[in-house]
Structure 1
Amino acid sequence: MNDIFEFPFNRSVALKSPYKSDNRVVYHLWVNVRDIPEGFPTQVNPREVKDTTKVYKRIADGLTESTESFFVNNRGILISAKSIGIDSISKAVKLNLGEENEKDKFGVLDGGHTYHAIIKHRNKIDNEINQYVHLEIMTNVNEIDELSAARNTSVQVSDKAIAELANKFEFVKEALKNEDYANDIAYRENDDKRLDTIDLVRLMYSFNAFKYAGSNSQPIQAYSGKAQVLKDYLKNYDHQGDHRNDYEYIAPLLPTITKLYDQIEIDMRQAYLDNNPKGAFGKVKGIDSKKTKPIKSKFYQHDLDYQITQGFIFPILASFRALVEIKEDNHLEWAVDPFKVWQKIKAKLVNNTIEMSRQLGHNPQSTGKSSALWVQNYDAVTSAKLQLQIEEMNKQSK
C-alpha cells in the first residue's frame, strides 16, 4: 500500500526537464509549516538527524522567530516522489511516496534536519505568525544515490567562510579576552557554542568607518548579507600585506559595541513606551514575548522579557558608527560616550525604527533593510553627538 499525503500549499510551479528525451519534472511549492504532514519517509536520506548540533539549533531558532523569513533563510526540503498531483483550484497537493519496500527510492532526500525541526518545533510559533518552507519535489529520479550524495555534501557559502575563519581571528580573541562571553564564541565550524564568529563580523562591519563614512552609504549588508560580510572580512585579512586590514582596527571597539547591543535589548521596551505610553510593545511584530524558555540578552546574558528581532536592532546599533573617529595611524576612538548618546535619544531611535516597520506593513525584515531608516537613525546620532560636544565645550569654558 502506497504512502499518500495530501496537504495544502500556498504557491507552486512545475519545471520540466530542459531535455526533450527526459521526462523528469521538478515541482517547487511554498507550504505553511503547520500543514507539513508527519510521517514522510526519511530512510533515503544518508544523514542521521542530530538535534543537538549548532546547525539544527539555527534551523529551529529561524523557524520560531517572528520575522517570517524562514522560507528564504532555509534551503528547504528535497523529496523524491513516486507521483504527485497538483490541484491548482483548491491549492492542494497529493503526494505518493511509495510502498513500504520502496523507502530506498522515495521520501526526504535532503533537508532532513529542516523536516525534523518543523515537526518538533512548529507548535512554538506564535499564532499570528506564518512560516513557509520550500518543498522541492522530484519525480522519475533515476540516479537516487548520486542525487542524494550530491545534495547532502553541499555546504552553504557562509559555513565555508566560517571554517576559513578558524585561524583568522586572533586579534578579535585578544580584543575580547576579558569579556564575559569570551569562551562562548565558536571559532570553528563544529564548535557547539551559543555565539558564532559571524555575530562578531557583522558587528565590526556595521562600525567600519573606513568603508562607510557619513550617512550617504550605510552597511546594511551587516543585517541582510551574511555571506557578503564574511567575504569582506576574508578579503581584508588575506590582502592585509597590500593594504590596511580594517577589521584589525575595529576589533578593539567590540567590547563597547557588544555592551551597547545588549543595552539596546534591555532598554527598547521602555524607550518605546516613552513615546507611546499606551502602546503594547509585546504586540509589535518582531517582538517575541514567549515564555517557553528564558530570554537572555545576546552577549552578556541579562534577563529579558522580550526577544527583539535583529531587523530592529541593527538599524539602531549601526547608527552609532557616527560616533567613531579615525585618528592618527588609523586608530579608532569614540568621539563621545555612546551610552550617553543612547540615553539621550533612545526613544527617538526606537520610535523611528518601529514607525518604519509600520510603514512597511509591519515587516521587520524589510525594516532591517530600509536604507531610509539607517540614514534617519545615523543622522539622529550625529545630531546628538554634536549637541553633547557643544555641551562639553560650554562646561569647559565656564
Structure 2
Amino acid sequence: MANVKFKVEALRTLASPYRKGDKDENTFETIYYLLVDMKDLPSELPLDVNPREPKMTTSVARSLLNAVIEPETDFYINNRGIVIAAKSLSFNSTDSEVSVDLGNQDDENDKFQYGILDGGHTYTAIMEKRNKITNDIRKYVRVEVITNVQNITRLSDARNTSVQVSDMALFNLDNNFEDVKDAVSGQVYADWIAYKDNENKAIHVSELLRLMYAFDIDRFPDDNAAPVQSYSGKAQVFKRYKQAFETPFYKSLTKQIPVLVELYDLIERELPEKYKEYKKSQGVSNPRFGSVRGIESLENETKTEFFSKSVKYSVSTGYIYPIFGAFRSLLRFDKKAGTLSWLFNPVDIWNEVGISIVQNTFETYTNPQLAGKDKQLWLSNYRIVETQSLRKLLSRK
C-alpha cells in the first residue's frame, strides 16, 4: 500500500454538496486543500496517473526550476500547485500531519487511478531544486487532494489544459513578433529567446515585453503613474503589447530593446556594489548584501538574465524593476517623426545616481515583493533620475 505521510501548514476541507442525506455518502468526492512546505513534500509520490511526463528542458520548466530557488516567497500564490487523486486522507491535528492513501501502486488499476494527475512539472521542479532553498526561507506549494474520484479520465482531461498553445505562441504564429526579432538581431542573446511554447531556450519573449512596458511613456508619461505591472503582471504586459505593437510609439520603443537589455543587465550586475557603497557611506564597515531579504549570496556564481555574465548574488526582480523603470524619465517621443530619443545615455545616468536610487530602494523596503509592487517607490526613483537629467540640462545653459 502506498500510504504517504507529511506535515502541512494548513488544511481546508470541501465536502461534496451532493453527499448530504445520501445513504452512500462516503462514496462522494471530497477535496482537501493543503499548504505544504516544499521541504516536507514527500519524494515518493507517483506520477503515472498524469497524462504527461514532466519535460524539464522547456522554457516553462526552466522558469519553474528557477521559481523554486529564487528568494521570492509567493510561489504558492503564483503557481497552480499539485493535484493528487487519492483513496482517502486523514489528518492528525496534534502533529499537523496528513496521511494520504494512494492505493497499491503495484496494482495496475490503482497505479493509474491514484497519484499526481496535474502539477507534475511543479512537483518535479521542487524535487530537483528544494535542497538549494536557503535555510532562512520557507517556501510553500498548494496541494489539492481529491478522494473518491469517480471519473479519473474526465478529471485529468479537465485539469491538464495547459497543453493548449499559449496566447503568445499563437501571436508568434501570426509573425507578430517580427519587430522584436529585428530589434535583437545581431545581439549575443538573440538566439536564446523563446517565441514558441516549450522551446528549450533561456529567455522567453515575455521578458523583453516586460522591459518595454517599464518604459511605456505613452501610458506612463510622468510621475503620476508607474508601470508596476512590468514586475507583477505578465498578462497585462502582453495585453498591452498586443494592443499597441503596431502603433508608431511601440514600433519605436521596440527598436530600443538592445538599450533596455543593456541597462537591465548592468543594474543586475552592479546593484550589489552600489548597495555596499551606500552602506559604507553611512559608516557600515562591512555591508552584508547577501543577508538582505530577497538576495541570495551564492557559493557558485550564477549568470545574469540576458548577457549571461557571472555574478555572485541572485537578486530578486522586485528590487531591480523599480530601479530599472526609473530611467523612463530619460525617454522622449516625437509624435510627428514617430521616433524615440534619450535625453541622456541611461548608462551614464546610472553611473551618476545609481547609489542614490539603490539607497532609496533599500531604505524604503527590504521585502522585494513589496518593493516591486509599490507605486510610490517607483515614482520616487523616477524623480531621482528626472532631477539628475534636469541638473544636466541646466548645466548646458
Q: Is there any run of 5+ residues in structure 2 with no aligned partner, and where? A: 281-285
- Amino acid paired to 1:261: Y
1:95-115 C-alpha deviation (Å, 9 max, x unpaired): 111123211211111111111
CA distance in 1, matches of 2:2, 2:192: 45
Structure 1 residue 156: Cα displacement: 8.2
Matching residue's letter, 1:57: R
| Shift, 1:289, TM fit | 2.1
Deviation at 1:246, TM superposition (A): 3.7
2: distance between equivalents of 1:253 and 1:113? 35
User: 1:396 is matched with which residue?
Assistant: none
Distance 1:205 1:169 in 2: 15
In the alignment, the residues of structure 1 paired with residue 359 and residue 168 of structure 2 have an alpha-carbon distance, to the nearest angstrom, of 36
Cα distance in 2 between the residues matched to 1:213 and 1:17: 52
Greater mean deviation of Cα atoms: 47-56 or 252-261: 47-56
Are positions 1:262 and 2:265 aligned together?
Answer: yes
Instruction: Identify the match of residue 276 of structure 2 among 267, 273, 278.
Output: 273
The offset of 1:385, in angstroms, is 0.8
Structure-2 separation of matches of 1:255 and 1:55? 24
- Aligned mates of 1:314, 1:340 — CA distance in 2: 18
Maintained 8 Å contact 1:216/1:375: yes
Unaligned runs of 5+ residues in structure 1 are: 394-398
Q: Tell me the CA shift for residue 334 of structure 1.
A: 0.6
Counterpart-to-counterpart distance in 1, 2:318 and 2:169: 22
Identity of aligned residues (%): 38
Give the one of 123, 127, 147 matched to 1:119. Answer: 127
Instruction: Give the CA deviation at 1:69.
Output: 1.9
CA offsets per residue over residues 326-368 of structure 1, 9 Å max, x none? 113331111112112111111111111122223xxxx211211
Structure 1 residue 10 corresponds to structure 2 residue 9: yes
Question: Which residue, 276, 287, 290 being the options, matches 1:282?
Answer: 290
Aligned to 1:31: 36
1:185 aligns with 2:193: yes
Amino acid at match of 1:376: S
Change (3 A) 1:58 1:163: farther
Q: Is the 8 A contact 2:212 2:253 kept in 1?
A: yes
Q: Report if aligned partners of 2:265, 2:306 keep a CA contact under 8 Å in 1.
A: yes
Aligned counterparts of 1:225 and 1:371: Cα–Cα separation in 2: 14
Alpha carbons of structure 1 residues 163 and 88: separation in structure 2 relative to 1, 3 Å? farther
Question: Does the residue aligned with 2:11 lie in a helix, a strand or coil?
Answer: strand
**SS class of match (1:31):** strand
2:75 and 2:169 map into 1 onto residues whose CA distance is 21
The Cα offsets for residues 295-350 of structure 1, whole Å up to 9 and x where unpaired, read as 12222222211121111110000110111111133311111121121111111111
Partner of 1:322: 329
How far off is 1:82 after superposition? 0.6
What TM-score do you get using the length of structure 2 for normalisation? 0.91
Shift of 1:227: 1.0
User: How far, CA to CA, are the matches of 1:62 and 1:152 in structure 2?
Assistant: 21
**Residues 244-253 or 2-11, more deviating:** 244-253
Q: How far does residue 245 in structure 1 lie from its aligned partner after superposition? A: 5.3
Instruction: Check conservation: 2:59, 2:203, Cα contact below 8 A.
Output: no
Aligned to 1:222: 230
Code of the aligned partner of 2:315: I
The 5 Å alignment of 1:52-71 reads: 52-71=57-76
Amino acid at match of 2:66: D
What does 1:137-148 align with in structure 2 at a 5 Å threshold?
Answer: 137-148=145-156
In structure 1, C-alpha distance between the alignment counterparts of 2:172 and 2:239, rounded to whole Å: 10
Q: Contact (CA 8 Å) 2:29, 2:149: kept in 1 or not?
A: yes
TM-score normalised by the chain length of structure 1: 0.91
Pair 1:388-2:392 in alignment:
yes
Q: Which amino acid aligns with 1:170?
A: E
- In structure 1, the residue corresponding to 2:337 is in which secondary structure? helix
Work out the CA distance in 2 between the residues paired with 1:246 and 1:156.
Answer: 32
1:130 correspondence with 2:144 = no
CA distance in 1, matches of 2:163, 2:234: 15
How far 1:155 sits from its partner (Å)?
A: 5.2
Find the counterpart in structure 2 of residue 343 from structure 1.
Answer: 351
Once the two structures are overlaid, the 10-residue window that deviates more, 182-191 or 218-227, is 182-191
Give the drift of 1:88: 3.6
1:249 corresponds to: 252
